[in-house]
């Protein structure tokens, strides 16, 4: 089937970790296919999109995470940095439920995003709206504009929240003058584009619209491990520093743990690098930001908070994991990693240097983790690439 040139809008929350790994490469694949592409998001993302050479459809009223955290109601909610008087168990439970940020992004913030996008679409005139799964304004706008839509599934387990967000999203549909959706899973209708093999998804999340595609930005292990001590890559992403108070303690525990192991460690400290006063073992290199995708291709273990951005890259590079899940979909990601035998999980409250060293040491010593990771990476390598996804997206329009 021949598909003509289309005008396609990708929507994304104003977070670099949501934009760079999948949305940007998909935009480039669509551009290579001759389609006109723009990414609709907050004005704060203009410079980042310009660096990638992608048109920015600016939505002037969309709030960044920093602006959202400035709201006392959000900042002091259970599990957030300003919460007081919580025991570790209460905090962990709050973080595994639908938190205030998720509710906001499916509620009033989604409505703001949708209205800005509807207004911008009057001039831009898209044929298709493709949203990353955490961003719901694109779903609402597509319903209002009667446009076909698709989802880039950059965090599969967030879909488990859709039944809990059903009433919230229907409230936003009502504000746009639209009837309610009867099916809680309606936001994932159209094409649900996965970036990992379907085997990653539990049966409860496998929708008829699910299809897997291979990202262009990561490569599997294609050489034997370098001689000498194995490399262990560690870090807590980019968002956790702003929303999780335990980050400094966990980073210090990670650095100490790797210092006790016969390995070469690289720890990405993020914003904490500027005033780091923690341990500095001689076998551990401390950096502000590590070239994660490249290093995962050599790493024997990836120690992280279990965010899907890092997890899906580790799946493609056949890198076993140790996860200390902190927030959002990370607990579900960490559980799935253990269910598939790809690594181990530690509760944040129990993540002492000794426990971390023990978990990483066990994964290094047990070849079964690497073998199972390699098997899943081979499935991923056989998935069609983003150029095929570009064709499938254009066909929807």
pLDDT band at 69 (very low <50, low <70, confident <90, very high): low
Decide if pLDDT at 374 tops 70. Answer: yes
Q: Among 215-219, 311-315, 354-358, whose mean pLDDT is lowest?
A: 215-219
Nearest C-alpha neighbor of 232 from the set 161, 334, 173, 319 = 319
pLDDT bracket for residue 392 (50, 70, 90): very high
Of 49-58, 80-89, 202-211, 361-370, least confident by mean pLDDT is 80-89
Among the listed ranges 91-105, 135-149, 182-196, 336-350, which one has the minimum average pLDDT value? Answer: 91-105
Kindly report the number of other CB atoms within 10 A of residue 227's CB atom. 5
| Beta-carbon count within 10 A of 55 CB | 15
358 or 4: whose pLDDT is higher? Answer: 358
pLDDT at 225 (0 to 100): 47
The answer to whether residue 219 scores a pLDDT higher than 70 is: no
Distance CA 149, CA 251 (A): 40
The domain defined by 7-189 folds into Rossmann fold (3.40.50)
* Res. 94: pLDDT tops 60: no
The upper half-sphere exposure of residue 34, i.e. CA atoms within 13 Å in the direction of its Cβ, equals: 5
The predicted-structure confidence for 8-51, as pLDDT tens digits, reads as follows 999 999 988 889 889 999 999 999 999 999 999 999 999 999 99
Range name among 10-19, 160-169, 234-243 with the lowest pLDDT average: 234-243
| Fold match between domain 7-189 and domain 231-381 | yes
pLDDT at 90: 54
Residue 1 has pLDDT above 50, yes or no: no
DSSP state for residue 329 in the 8-state scheme: T
Angle 186-189-190 from CA coordinates, rounded to 5°: 155
Q: How far is CA 239 from CA 97, 138, 222, 324, 352, in A?
A: 18, 22, 31, 15, 22
The span from the CA of 397 to the CA of 393, in Å, is 7
pLDDT grade for 274, boundaries at 50, 70 and 90:
confident
pLDDT tops 90 at residue 168: yes
Segments making up each domain of the chain, as ranges:
7-189, 231-381
Q: Are 36 and 8 in contact (CB under 8 A)?
A: yes
CATH superfamily of 231-381: Glycogen Phosphorylase B; (3.40.50.2000)
Residue 332: its pLDDT value, please? 94
Q: What burial letters (b/e) apply to 187-207, b meaning 16+ CB within 10 Å?
A: bbbbbbbbbbbeebbeeebeb
Residue of 95 and 173 predicted with greater confidence: 173
**Burial of 350 from C-beta contacts in 10 A (0-12 / 13-18 / 19+):** exposed
Which percentage of the chain shows pLDDT scores above 70?
A: 87
With a cut of 70, say whether residue 283 has pLDDT above it.
Answer: yes
Question: Average model confidence (pLDDT) for the chain?
Answer: 89
**Is residue 212 pLDDT above 90, yes or no?**
yes
**pLDDT confidence tier of residue 293, bands split at 50, 70 and 90:** confident
Please tell me the predicted confidence (pLDDT) of residue 75.
Answer: 46
Look-up: residue for tokens 């390699």?
374
Q: What is the mean pLDDT of residues 252-269?
A: 96
Is the pTM above the cut of 0.85? yes
More confident residue, 224 or 376: 376
Q: Write out the H or E segment, with its range, that includes residue 248.
A: helix 247-259
34: left (phi over 0), alpha (psi -120 to 50) or beta: left
Q: Which helix (H) or strand (E) holds 55?
A: strand 55-58
The kind and range of the H/E element at 84 are: none
Q: Please determine, for residue 258, whether its predicted confidence score (pLDDT) is greater than 80.
A: yes
For residues 74 and 154, the answer to whether their CB atoms sit within 8 Å is no
At 153, the pLDDT band (50, 70, 90 cuts) reads: very high
- Check residue 395 and give its pLDDT: 96
């Amino acid at each position: 089937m021949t598909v003509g040139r289309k005008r396609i809008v990708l929507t994304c929350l104003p977070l670099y970790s949501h934009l760079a790994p999948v949305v940007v490469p998909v935009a480039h694949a669509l551009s290579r296919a001759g389609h006109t592409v723009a990414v609709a998001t907050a004005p704060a993302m203009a410079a980042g999109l310009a660096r990638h050479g992608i048109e920015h459809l600016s939505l002037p009223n969309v709030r960044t995470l920093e602006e959202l955290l400035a709201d006392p109601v959000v900042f002091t909610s259970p599990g957030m940095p300003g919460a007081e008087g919580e025991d570790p168990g209460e905090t962990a439970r709050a973080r595994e439920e639908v938190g205030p940020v998720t509710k906001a992004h499916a509620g009033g913030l989604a409505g703001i995003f949708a209205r800005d996008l509807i207004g911008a679409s009057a001039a831009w005139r898209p044929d298709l709206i493709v949203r990353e799964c955490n961003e719901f304004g694109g779903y609402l706008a597509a319903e209002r504009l009667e446009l076909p839509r698709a989802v880039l599934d950059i965090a599969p387990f967030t879909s488990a929240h859709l039944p809990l967000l059903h009433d919230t999203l229907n409230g936003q549909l009502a504000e746009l003058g639209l009837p309610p959706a009867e099916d809680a899973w309606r936001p994932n209708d159209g094409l649900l584009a996965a970036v990992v093999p379907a085997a990653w998804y539990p049966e409860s999340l496998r929708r008829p619209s699910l299809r897997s595609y291979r990202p262009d930005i990561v490569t599997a292990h294609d050489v034997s491990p370098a001689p000498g001590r194995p490399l262990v890559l560690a870090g807590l992403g980019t968002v956790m520093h702003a929303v999780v108070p335990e980050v400094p303690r966990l980073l210090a525990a990670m650095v100490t743990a790797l210092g006790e192991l016969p390995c070469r460690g690289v720890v990405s400290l993020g914003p904490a690098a500027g005033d780091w006063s923690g341990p500095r073992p001689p076998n551990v290199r401390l950096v502000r930001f590590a070239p994660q995708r490249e290093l995962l291709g050599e790493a024997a273990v990836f120690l992280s908070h279990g965010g899907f951005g890092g997890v899906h890259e580790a799946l493609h590079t056949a890198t076993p994991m140790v996860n200390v899940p902190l927030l959002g979909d990370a607990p579900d990601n960490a559980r799935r990693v253990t269910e598939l035998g790809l690594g181990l999980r530690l509760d944040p409250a129990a993540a002492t240097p000794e426990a971390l060293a023990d978990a990483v040491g066990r994964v290094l010593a047990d070849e079964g983790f690497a073998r199972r990771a390699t098997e899943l990476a081979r499935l991923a390598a056989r998935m069609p690439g983003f150029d095929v996804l570009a064709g499938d997206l254009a066909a929807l329009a």
